[in-house]
Structure 1
């Protein structure tokens, strides 16, 4: 869960959509969307995986859902299957 902080002076000067939010653990003031975003999620994994085209993991078990990168391990595939089969529709 992200922990955000701001000041009344910054809110008055830039409004709530400006770079007025400080997310603990980050190094800059950010807009609310950027402060709440998680740069370490599967999108970042996909970008790193696609940046190394010749690299294929030896523990690739199956193709992941679209946008998750090149492959996932058997453990990740089992967890994904269990999670998607238990999600409400």
Structure 2
């Protein structure tokens, strides 16, 4: 399953945000910041990564359900989509 890059622009934004948050976590650890602040920032980065993953799966699912050849068959079967969702669980 291929997803067009323009459909994933929002995912790129989320991943860049997570990248910045992870960099912030590293700096916080190195500067000896409070554990509570570090965990809060780390949780935010984790949520950003989760949301990016869910967006990719949802976009892929939408594309797969729109069959290109008119056969009525989805390009990816249900089992494959379940595996993608479970990978993020």
**Is the TM-score greater than 0.5?**
no
The structure where helix makes up a greater share of residues is: 2
Larger Rg: 1
Higher relative contact order (CA 8 A, sep 6+): 2
> TM-score if structure 2 supplies the norm length?
0.31
The structure where strand makes up a greater share of residues is: 1
> TM-score if structure 1 supplies the norm length?
0.31
